[in-house]
Amino acid sequence: MSPNPADLARLHGQAFLHPRPWSEAEFRALLARADTLTIAAPEGFAIGRVTLDEAELLTIAVAPDARRKGLGRSLLGQFLATAATRGARTVFLEVDSLNTPARALYQAMGFTQVGLRRNYYREGPEPSDALVLSRPLP
């Protein structure tokens, strides 16, 4: 059973102010794609795509009340394992350079920086860079 786009949009809205939260319509369009991979729990989700031997984590969101309890790590771990079963050998993601908790999670999960997009995020109080991270999958 596929996650409800309205639930994903609600959770994303709780988790993010900058960059802007994604809309229900955006989640609906993403879920309609055959290459989309979604790992969902009542208080969070990870969503991305798998194309040939590459996966891309598009976003991971955890409700504020559920943070710092291991849910983000669990969702990311499930995303990585499922992407590998779909044939992905490498996973990529972008993270705001100012998002210290996310950066710590990705580092703990074996991601390393492979690129930088200067002033990529412009919707917050000041522009910030996107770090492009990657890690191999077993």
> Which of 54, 94, 121, 126 is an active site residue?
94
> Which of 106, 120, 121, 123 is an active site residue?
106
Instruction: Please tell me whether the peptide bond between 138 and the residue prior to it is cis, using omega within 30 degrees of 0.
Output: no
Is the CB of residue 50 less than 8 Å from the CB of residue 87? yes
State the CB neighbour count (10 A cutoff) for residue 126. 9
- Is 54 among the catalytic positions? no
| DSSP 3-state of 123 | coil
| Tokens coding 134 | 């990657």
Cα 28 to Cα 5, 59, 77, 92, 104: the distances in Å are 5, 15, 24, 22, 30
Q: What does the CA dihedral 71, 74, 78, 81 come to, rounded to 10 degrees?
A: 160
- Is 24 among the catalytic positions? no
Which residue numbers are catalytic?
94, 106
